[in-house]
Amino acid sequence: MNGSGKLIVALDFSELDQAEKIVKKISGLVKIFKVGKELFTSAGPKAVEMIHRHNCRVFLDLKFHDIPNTVGAACESAARMGVFMLNVHALGGKTMMTSAVQAVHKAASETKTTPTKVLGVTVLTSLKDLDLREVGISKKLEKEVEDLAVLSQRCGLDGVVASGQEVKRIRKVTGNNFLIVAPGVRPTWAAHGDQKRIVTPKEAIQSGADFIVVGRPIIEHPQPLLAAEKILKEIE
């Protein structure tokens, strides 16, 4: 895969028009866009359709976490929209994750398409050890991340979302045949914003990430295409 296949741009907008402006500007170079809760809550499936109209793929970042039946049904709906990748919280448990995997396979066999990839969210990067204690998890955060990645793999998920700093550790326990998608990536020339545990695009790919997710350094750049080009040059 070349660099362009590894870069996912986060369309963190509330307005569909704003998102489409960015897609129009950079879709010659960037082929996967992330639709998160903000855009999906305001624009719904139209956001997915817009990206598909520009011949690009969608990572639907809605982090499903509910009873297995509900998550399975949501994943089936997403898979029927033709999204390339979606995610669920690994803390939703084994039955919930298995239900997600079964649902995307059911949709794929009925629509005769490639199954949507299902990723697990291990521990949100906004949480620290103390936050885990408060919700009754006494394990060290790093160990919890590793264990949830392994559980995700056992449930048949295609990979996990993980901060760039966790990639190496996860790779060690899951082996190579497992996708790792790393957000919170910052080129040296970009502002860090609220991201704290950051790595550069090059570091993330070198430590074993299959995809990097970049938002603000591209979507808030005065010249988004130039910013995307600079990042691709760094990871190629």
Q: Which residues bind ligand C5P (CB under 6 A)?
A: 10, 12, 36, 124-125, 161, 163, 183-184, 193, 195, 213-216
**Residue placing its CB nearer to ligand C5P in the complex, 80 or 89:** 89
Three-state DSSP string of 9-30: EECCCCCHHHHHHHHHHHCCCC
Phi and psi at 57, nearest 5°, equal: -100, 160
CB of 195 to ligand C5P, least distance (A): 5
Token digits of residue 163: 């901060």
**Beta partners for 213?**
8
63 counts as catalytic: yes
Token digits of residue 175: 């082996």
Question: Which residue of the set 63, 168, 202, 230 is catalytic?
Answer: 63
CB of 197 to ligand C5P, least distance (A): 9
**Residue placing its CB nearer to ligand C5P in the complex, 197 or 233:** 197
**Residue placing its CB nearer to ligand C5P in the complex, 64 or 107:** 64
Q: What per-residue string of b and e applies to 178-203 under the rule 16 or more CB within 10 Å gives b? A: bbbbbbbbbbeebeeeebeebbbbbb
Q: Closest residue to ligand C5P, Cβ-based?
A: 215
CB of 215 to ligand C5P, least distance (A): 3
User: To which H or E segment does residue 54 belong?
Assistant: none
**Residue placing its CB nearer to ligand C5P in the complex, 80 or 186:** 186
CB of 75 to ligand C5P, least distance (A): 18
What residue has token string 């790595």?
199
Give catalytic residues, as residue numbers.
63
